[in-house]
């Protein structure tokens, strides 16, 4: 059975998509931008601050869906500049310390609203 996840712990969807969908024990979290859910605006700062906020949004969705960071099996990181990879990776490693998920990171031509990073996540039980 498909379950749609919506939580105030992450920014509301700004288009025709859900924050996350759970089906058959797998949670698919839509790409999270560095939007502070309490203000609806990007966090101040650079790639580190934006990465931290995107991951906090993901962790909020995980919790709302009844999942934990240990359930994360795959992340996709989209970067506006691959030169930010090391700084993004430094913050990412603060969130995933053991049993790190599989991951891929790409530089893309542009991200919504001029973001420096967007992260999507898949978790499974």
Instruction: Please tell me the distance from the alpha carbon of residue 99 to that of residue 89, in angstroms, as a whole number.
Output: 15
Q: Which residues pair with 72 in a beta bridge?
A: 123
pLDDT at 28: 98
**Cα dihedral 46, 52, 56, 59 sign:** positive
Instruction: Please tell me the distance from the alpha carbon of residue 7 to that of residue 36, in angstroms, as a whole number.
Output: 13
Which among 119, 58, 51, 116 has a CA at the least distance from the CA of 83? 116
Q: For residue 117, what is the domain's CATH number? A: 3.30.1330.40
Q: What is the pLDDT of residues 31-79, one digit of tens each?
A: 999 999 999 999 999 999 999 999 999 999 999 999 999 999 999 999 9
Residue with tokens 């919504």: 112
Which residue range(s) make up the domain with 73?
Answer: 3-124
The number of folded domains in the chain is 1
Q: What is the pLDDT of residues 71-122, one digit of tens each?
A: 999 999 999 999 999 999 999 999 999 889 999 999 999 999 999 999 999 9
């Amino acid at each position: 059975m498909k379950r749609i996840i919506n939580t105030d712990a992450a920014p509301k969807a700004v288009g025709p998509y859900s924050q996350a969908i759970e089906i058959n024990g797998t949670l698919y979290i839509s790409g999270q931008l560095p939007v502070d859910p309490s203000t609806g605006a990007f966090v101040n700062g650079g790639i580190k601050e934006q990465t931290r906020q995107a991951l906090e949004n993901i962790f909020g969705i995980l919790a709302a869906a009844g999942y934990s960071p240990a359930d994360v099996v795959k992340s996709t990181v989209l970067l506006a500049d691959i030169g930010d990879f090391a700084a993004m990776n430094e913050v990412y490693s603060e969130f995933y310390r053991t049993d790190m998920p599989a991951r891929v990171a790409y530089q893309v031509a542009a991200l919504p609203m001029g973001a420096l990073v967007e992260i999507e996540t898949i978790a499974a039980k």
